[in-house]
Amino acid sequence: MAKGSNHVVLVPLPAQGHLLPILYLARKLAAHGFAVTIVNIDSVHESVKQNWKNVPQQDIRLESIQMELKVPKGFDAGNMDAVAAFVDSLQALEEPLADLLAKLSAARAVSCVISDFYHPSAPHAASKAGMPSVCFWPGMASWASIQYSQPSMIAAGYIPVDESNASEIVDLPGLKPMRADDLPFYLRKDFYHKLGRDRFLRQLERAAKDTWVLANSFYELEPQAFDAMQHVVPGKFVPVGPLFPLRDRKASGMEASLRPEDHSSIGWLDRKPPKSVLYVAFGSITVLSPGEFEELARGLEESGHPFLFSVPREMVPEVGDDRVGEFAERAARSGAGMVVRWAPQLAVLQHPSVGGFLSHCGWNSILESVSSGVPVLGWPIASEQNTNCKLALQERGIGMELADRSSDGVASAVRELMASEELRRNVAEIGRNARAAATAGGSSHRNLHDFFHSCQDREILLQIKQQSLI
């Protein structure tokens, strides 16, 4: 196959944690000889374009589409009060996105359109443009089992979750029976009603359109969930993760972060002993109150372990730069730790000096940490983070939840995490499985190449969909 003879369009959800895996997938497609077009909303497109690095022999093009709501850093903590407006703005892109896809296909025929599950208009736009739709599932297969089971859980009265049903036991495909309050935070009554049931259920309409579902996880982590999902969705549901470069300390430098990364943190880590440092980061949608920040800061200092703490401004809007700066200066003077605004996370987690990760339990963070052999101390705050903490960390013995968030509780839990040989052994084994899955001959690698083969002929994609509907 000649380079670039097949053309794939990728449509990410405009949020930091959803964008990066799509970019890694784009790199793999391009390395395999596909021409790739990545379509971002205009405000995110400008941010990506500023830092984008072209790779020789890879045909990747960046396109943009106008959206009324502007989120140059992607959907983050600053937009949490506007989640319904964000979803509706994306929904309004269906017609213009279909027009753009038709235009792109006129220049070079499009084999398929890959879009994030949570992008509400992309699969429908692909259908209008007459193109096969492929879903990129951004998390665990276990989470997908929950998401695709929403209609049956609504009928059974499990969601929305509130005090009246929180302790009820939910039995879902491929999962151990679980309490309703372990379902994702967004299925709880306040948020569920705020976003609206119709918006949640519309997400599932894409199942009838998707020929494949590419899941950003690996089979060996959750085989029962992946086996079950084969019978839940009409298309092929396969693991393809992890997608990021493995054991490459400069890995994040080849991609586009929506925030400036402070690479001085890598030099600081170079001077620390192996597995001695606790990395602390809460992603892009977390907000900590002043009280939570103060307790966390004191707990880190009292833990006795050096720490690298990523503190974006959006995470502590009521704390202020002066207070964060004072904490950073004190930690630097005492040698207790280093505070940055945004760290190159993948490079940090793959650094030999990092021995633990205090995380919000976003899926990217867990997957990067586990693949690097780093155990996780979970502080779930929003979205599906509580479910990730339960199903990925606790059930598989690769991490623990921070139950006591006082300074004493933080210090004690950090010491326990960093001293636990059992957690370290467990995560080392699962990390080896993750890396093996993504390398030549591994389960995710094979699935990805099967998908590449199907993309070389649109008729194969369409046949797969027709067979799945029989």
Dist CA 86 CA 74 (whole Å)? 10
Residue type at position 445: H
Rounded CA Rg of the chain: 22
Contacts of 374 (CB under 8 A, 6+ apart): 279, 349, 354, 355, 356, 357, 427
The tokens of 72 are what? 């140059």
Residue for token pair 């220049």: 107
Strand partners, 114: 10, 134
18 is catalytic: yes
116 is catalytic: yes
Dist CA 300 CA 225 (whole Å)? 36
Nearest-5° angle of CA 138, CA 140, CA 146?
100
3-state DSSP assignment of residue 149: coil
Catalytic residue among 116, 119, 124, 181: 116
Contacts of 425 (CB under 8 A, 6+ apart): none
Catalytic residue among 18, 45, 351, 360: 18
CA atoms within 13 A on the CB side of 297: 23
The DSSP H or E segment spanning 308 is strand 307-310
Asked whether the beta carbons of 74 and 46 are under 8 A apart, the reply is no
> Of the candidates 448, 460, 455, 465, which has an alpha carbon nearest to the alpha carbon of residue 235?
465
Dist CA 258 CA 263 (whole Å)? 15
3-state DSSP assignment of residue 312: coil
**Alpha-carbon 54 to chain mean position:** 23
Dist CA 26 CA 189 (whole Å)? 37
Dist CA 28 CA 34 (whole Å)? 9
Tell me which residues are annotated as active site: 18, 116
